[in-house]
Amino acid sequence: MRRAAIITALRTPIGRYGGGLSSIRPDDLAAYVIGAVVERSGIDPALIDDVYLGAANQAGEDNRNVARMASLLAGLPVTVPGSTVNRLCASGLEAINVASRMIEAGHGDVFIAGGVESMSRAPYVLSKAASAFGRDQELHDTSIGWRLVNPRLAEMHHPYSMGETAENVARRHSISREEQDAFALRSQQRWKAANERGLFDDELVPVAVPQRRGDPLVIDTDEHPRPDTTLEGLARLKPAFSNAADATVTAGNSSGVNDGAAAVLLVEAGLASSMGLDTLSLVGASASAGVDPAYMGIGPVPATHKALKRSGLTLGDIGLVELNEAFAAQSLACARELGLEEDTLNVNGGAIAIGHPL
C-alpha cells in the first residue's frame, strides 16, 4: 500500500496583525517557506509533481493561484505546477490531505503542501453596482468574516460572525467565561514552556524583512503570544462579539488575526526509504464534516469520528491531539464532546497563543 511520508515540515514565525511580517506579500511569504523546505530536505526540485497551498482569502496579492506564483518565486522549475485550495481555516490541512491522497492513488510521488495567509495585507473590496448608476455598492474588509453575502443564503443561514458562532457554541454547550479564560491561559503558558525548551526551533524559518535603512529585521519567533497573560487580566476584558448579558467570548480567549506560511515535503514512503530520506511521520486517515453554520466550531467532532472510523482507530489509540483553537469556547466544546484529556490536547499551546493566519 502506498503511503505519504512527511519528510520536512517548516513554518515562518506567526506575525502579529500589522507586525513584523506585514510588509511581506503572501506570495513572497509562501515562496520563502517553500524554498526553505527544498533546501532543508535536499530534494531535487525537478522531482516535485505538484505544489498545493491553502489560502482562505484570495482577494488580494494571494489571488489567481498563489501556489503557482509562490512556486515560481521560490525558484522551482517552471515544469512544477501549483494549485490553491480553500477550505477556510482548514485550507492548509486540506492541501496536505490532497497531496497525500494523490500519492496514495499513484498520481505522483513528491509534493509540497501547506498554506499561507497575510491578514495584515488583506485588501478592501468594493462590489460593483447591481444596476447602471446604482448606489448600492458595499465596501468590505477582507481580513476576516463575511463579504458579498448571497441574500438567499442569508435567508437560509444567518451570516453570524465567527465570534458570534463561538457565543452560540458556548451557550449550547454551557461553556462558562471562567472555563474559556482558563483554557486561554493554559494555551499561553504551554506555548511559553515549549518556546523556552526550544521545541519550535527545528520548524521555524527566520524571515529577513527588508528595512528602508540598515540591515533587514529578522523575525525569528512568534509575535502573537502573550506569555505574561494572567487570569486576572483575561477577566478584565469585555466580550468582543456580543452585547448580550451572557456574552463570554473576548479577544483574550479567541485566536488572533495574523500572518504566516507553512509547508511540508511529502514523498511516497517507499521512494523516501530508497532515497535515504528520514521520515517525520506517515499521513493517516482524514475526514471533513459539515455542521450548522451557526455552530461552525463544533465541526471537528463529526470529522474526527469519521476519520477514526476510516482508520479503524479509537481516541484511546491517539497519544497527542492537535485541535485548532479558533476560540476557547469551541475548543472546550469539541474536547468535551470527544472526551479529550487535557494533558494530551495542544501540549505546546495552540492558536489562541501562537496565532491563527486563516
CB-count exposure of residue 51 (10 Å: 0-12, 13-18, 19+) = buried
Block residue for cell numbers 523516501 = 272
What does the pLDDT look like over 195-220, one tens digit per residue? 999 999 999 999 999 999 999 999 99
All three cell numbers of 186, joined, read 493554559
Grid coordinates 520548524 are at which residue? 203
pLDDT of residue 145: 86
Tell if the pTM clears 0.75, that is, is over it.
yes
**What pLDDT score does 9 carry?**
99
pLDDT at residue 210, rounded to an integer: 94
Q: What is the pLDDT of residues 36-73, one digit of tens each?
A: 999 999 999 999 999 999 999 999 999 899 999 999 99
Range 4-122+158-354: architecture per CATH: 3-Layer(aba) Sandwich (3.40)
- Output the pLDDT for position 73: 98
Where does the chain show beta strands of DSSP type E?
4-11, 15-16, 50-54, 82-85, 110-118, 124-126, 139-141, 207-209, 217-219, 258-268, 281-282
Cβ distance 41 to 70 under 8 Å?
A: no
Contacts 24+ apart (CB under 8 A), 36-39: 36/10, 36/205, 36/263, 37/8, 37/10, 37/112, 37/263, 37/264, 37/265, 38/74, 38/76, 38/112, 38/265
- The dihedral of CA 338, 343, 348, 350: what is its sign? positive
Tell me, what's the pLDDT at 316?
94
Mean pLDDT of the residues in the chain: 97
pLDDT confidence of residue 134: 77
Q: What is the pLDDT of residue 228?
A: 97
Given a cut of 50, the residues of the chain with pLDDT beneath it are none
Give me the residue label for grid cell 515544469: 79
pLDDT digits (tens, 9 = 90+) for 160-174: 999 999 999 999 999
Find out whether 116 and 52 touch, Cβ atoms under 8 Å. Answer: no
Cα Rg of the chain, angstroms: 21
Three-class SS of residue 265? strand
